[in-house]
Structure 1
């Protein structure tokens, strides 16, 4: 069930200033796409430009002219003349290059006041189902344009260095490089020192702080940062100064998830997608909740959409891989994991899911292989956690050592969401070792906290022997009731 998505290149030109206008008044014209390729596919140029107009018109804060208004500029593409005649701030000019099996779109955003190219990007896709390709490609272009237009419109007096730091930080968030040298937090700190009022950075900083709050058990967070407090402060600032950005509402949803306010999380994600229907990170985050909380079919579809919109957002594929693994579809699961492993930045979360799935199915040889791959690493952060988890599965820890390890990872001061995940991991280790009464204790702790992962509760092979113990059914009912209430928005 792996999804083929095209390769997206980074912007190829430096971004320059666009005359700032209120976000509700930004006007954009999409010129008819120029076509290069076989004559029998020439309709793809107009089809893609029409799809792009439709998608962009649903993005809050943009006024997008219809194709009828721009048809006269198929040959005369002078942006300054178009801006004068149509009253727009910028135009999208693109070329479609086609072969029988492949399509490439070269798109650029041009400021009409000066004729300056603000941004360009290249998008590629296979031509399999033409209608599916048009939908996927138009959404990807629209999302790239949304980010660029928000960045340019909010830039104000921000120096070019600050904008560059912000764009690098966005990419770091996508690859889950949040903490440490050259991580998203470090880059955004530097950006906001140069441009304290740069609103896209404020929203992204709130997201990065939410990630940092969740990560301390698996990372080397600086001891002098209280990430729970920092995340709340960052969100309050973003809500005050950047509430029109979809990224701010994703950060709000992330806070609600950390604290188990599930209905608030869903409402915030709905708001983010109302503002920006093509916002890949919001789709991925909602997909993660859906595949945990019983709406698996839509969650998998949404996770695939997130990766279509942002091909570097491999974290969305973990949601799909996990569904396959829980359902015993291990060939499909392996296909997706191999695809993710091609990007070294995702090594740590890939190690975690490989260990967990191997434990679920009692594949101790695979557990040993994964353990051997991390044994020689410096025993801090995620590597230390992985080694302890694997040694617990393999029986290298006796019962007292296992109890001590579990107590060490069920740390105080973490978010309720992370506490619940750690309880799930404890359940898996105890079940793998046959200590089902101990497993039930931590399952009940998770159910009493903020657990919504009914897919794991009902399908994880490790939990099957525990299901008949007194107390399991009541804990499961608590989880089901929580899930039913979270979708009542």
Structure 2
């Protein structure tokens, strides 16, 4: 199979010579090894090919773990837009290998016809003198160009680049076998880490800059990442020698700003990384103090295990985290003093708490010793300091010495950020600041993290979840939608979305389908978050049978989840006073938690404790007093729900005129159609009109809300629609009762659909 042969594969043109996939609208690059895997599958199109056959052909006898092949297949699928569960291109043959199932055909390049060779000899004789003169001129021209190029190169070597922001793209592997991508990526990582320690240079994180692998269009990079320049380069390994070429380009006009070649041998690769990073840093920020890297001699296999562990850690599923743990340990077996591997292992144990079923105490107990080992080897490692801050933040959530632990964690983060301006560190620090009640700083650090990593869907989703907990639901929903544009196929986004969006018939069905596809996660509830959110969704439509199946598989339960289950029971059985007591207790334990304080005001309203409800609401929004309230200016898409509750409280307290003006103002705002959640906006209009005794309008908007897919969302409210406290004035209306009956029928139909989808489970 020739590398210059192109193929038509679905809508894609496969071009092996450039390692790209092209269609009418875009071009996507892929590493050489992944392309070689695809070419072998093309050669065996329609046949089942074993993993052993692929590895033997592509890696040519090298000892390669099957995980590397799995990563290559994953990259191919992602580039082609394929789905492993419903494949269009590559089908997985369980316990065997893979099969290319899409139609493929070679493409024939059109070439211009050759000129007729008549009178060739005569022409050669007649033009011999012209040929000699032309070749001489050509030689002189080449010499001039070479001299000019060398002069220009030398001038760029010693030049300085006046920029304040940069993105480091993944380096291209130009080695003959093109099997050193791990080293090329590691070199880019090293430069990113080094430059991140240069103040006040803004350096885009790896996640966002690596999205431009194979795409070096200056204006696209500049517009997407908001940087003045980008750095790229290439790596060529031959025998024991390595040559690295580094270039810096302006994103404004594509002009080459700086370039240099570096030569070394295989035994000195980590010193080479440090040398390149220091020289790039010196060119960009000549007045900054170089950060001297620790001399490292890391076994190449240990480094590859480390990179494999990083890949799996980034997937953040229970299974992938277990693989990451194994690979980090393999790396440390070969390199007992490998600081980055210790850090990676500690972070992995922390992630077991967030993405598996480990308790916070277990994660901290396992992770902290590895961080202490990393800091013993390198006391000024910014990543080790940040990871220790993250683990201490987790420890503070269950320790009796919370304040002292939080102070120590804050010291770790501050020291880390003094050394390195890193998106992940800002993200972790924001979690600590949230626990400390420093709300303004939380937003500041999360926004800066996103600025450093603008293409991270994960960061935007995390920030949207924080905003939702702070009562800024509409802003959270808009940010979550932007995250989904970045990663539309993110498999777990349907679960993440439950923290930000209300239930809808479509989302409930999507959750059941996701549950069916990922049934292994529910066998022992290896991720509490997944199990909890699916249970809430099923309970919201009365599907208690499937919810109880999952509950029975949970070996233990988080306290917040147990509290939520109690509240659902209180709402269904009318135990409003019990709900008030529970929220009072939660608000006392978590004084900085907006959700608990707002829910306390709601519970007090439902229990008829209107003075207490008013006091609780004004603690959240102190400017909402009658004397200072500017009705036209305070309503927005984030606070309209709280304003309607406040209006209802004022009506109960006899402040009729002021409450009516307030509720009418919210109604006019909602009619501007600025709110993301259209179903909730319609239900709120129904509540406003019910409070103002406009029964006909209330019924009309309630019907619209149900038609737009409004459903109970039991981890947000904890009562059924027929018991909504703001609709109490219309609950005896026959039309209201008809709508509730129809709503109940629809819930029963959805519950039946869920049962059918989950029947095989």
Match in the other structure for 1:388: 566
Does residue 421 (structure 1) correspond to residue 612 (structure 2)? The answer is no
Match in the other structure for 1:468: 648
Q: Secondary structure at the match of 2:648?
A: coil
State which of 9, 31, 43 in structure 1 corresponds to 2:173.
31
In the alignment, structure 1 segments of 5+ residues that lack a partner are 1-8, 14-23, 36-46, 91-110, 125-143, 481-489
Alignment of 1:112-151 (within 5 A): 116=300, 118-119=303-304, 120=307
- Measure, in 1, the Cα distance between the counterparts of 2:600 and 2:66: 41
Match in the other structure for 1:81: 242
State which of 412, 421, 437 in structure 2 corresponds to 1:237.
412
Return 366-375 or 80-89, whichever deviates more.
366-375
Does residue 187 (structure 1) correspond to residue 366 (structure 2)? The answer is yes
Cα pair distance change 1:407/1:324, threshold 3 Å: closer
**Shift of residue 277, structure 1, vs aligned partner:** 3.8
Alignment of 1:48-447 (within 5 A): 49-51=213-215, 64-66=231-233, 80-83=241-244, 86-87=261-262, 89=273, 116=300, 118-119=303-304, 120=307, 158=338, 162-169=342-349, 171-172=351-352, 174-175=354-355, 179-180=359-360, 182-183=362-363, 185-196=364-375, 197=379, 198-210=381-393, 221-222=398-399, 224-226=400-402, 228-243=403-418, 244=420, 245-259=422-436, 261-278=438-455, 281-289=458-466, 292-296=472-476, 298-304=478-484, 314=492, 317-325=494-502, 329-336=504-511, 339=514, 342=518, 343-344=521-522, 348-350=528-530, 353=533, 363=541, 365-366=542-543, 370=547, 374=551, 381-395=559-573, 398-412=575-589, 414-417=590-593, 420-426=594-600, 435=606, 437-438=608-609, 441=612, 445=616
Larger relative contact order (Cα-Cα within 8 Å, sequence gap ≥ 6): 1
- Measure, in 1, the Cα distance between the counterparts of 2:532 and 2:450: 30
Is this contact kept in 2: 1:53–1:65, CA < 8 A?
no
- Measure, in 2, the Cα distance between the counterparts of 1:211 and 1:439: 37
Q: TM-score, normalised by structure 2?
A: 0.38
Q: Deviations over 1:233-260 (max 9, x none)?
A: 2122221134412222123323443455
- Measure, in 2, the Cα distance between the counterparts of 1:112 and 1:381: 45
- Measure, in 2, the Cα distance between the counterparts of 1:294 and 1:280: 18
In the alignment, structure 2 segments of 5+ residues that lack a partner are 1-64, 70-165, 179-210, 246-259, 263-271, 275-294, 312-323, 623-633, 653-658, 670-761
Q: Secondary structure at the match of 2:649?
A: coil
Root-mean-square deviation (CA, aligned residues, Å) is: 5.7
Q: Secondary structure at the match of 1:64?
A: strand
Is this contact kept in 1: 2:385–2:412, CA < 8 A?
yes
**Shift of residue 231, structure 1, vs aligned partner:** 2.7
Cα pair distance change 1:277/1:317, threshold 3 Å: same
Cα pair distance change 1:27/1:454, threshold 3 Å: closer
Does residue 448 (structure 1) correspond to residue 636 (structure 2)? The answer is no
- Measure, in 2, the Cα distance between the counterparts of 1:10 and 1:203: 33
Is this contact kept in 2: 1:317–1:336, CA < 8 A?
yes
Q: Secondary structure at the match of 2:171?
A: strand
- Measure, in 2, the Cα distance between the counterparts of 1:471 and 1:10: 68
**Shift of residue 470, structure 1, vs aligned partner:** 0.9
Cα pair distance change 1:234/1:352, threshold 3 Å: same
Q: TM-score, normalised by structure 1?
A: 0.55
**Shift of residue 164, structure 1, vs aligned partner:** 5.0
Q: Which has the larger radius of gyration?
A: 2
Q: Deviations over 1:302-353 (max 9, x none)?
A: 44267679x68x4x65453355426xx3312541475378344675445655
Return 199-208 or 274-283, whichever deviates more.
274-283
Is this contact kept in 2: 1:210–1:231, CA < 8 A?
yes
Is this contact kept in 1: 2:423–2:452, CA < 8 A?
yes
Q: Deviations over 1:356-383 (max 9, x none)?
A: 6688x7x5x3468647854897677245
Q: Deviations over 1:7-48 (max 9, x none)?
A: xx99869xxxxxxxxxx999963236999xxxxxxxxxxx96
- Measure, in 2, the Cα distance between the counterparts of 1:456 and 1:246: 27
**Shift of residue 427, structure 1, vs aligned partner:** 5.3
Match in the other structure for 1:128: none
**Shift of residue 285, structure 1, vs aligned partner:** 2.5
Cα pair distance change 1:179/1:423, threshold 3 Å: same
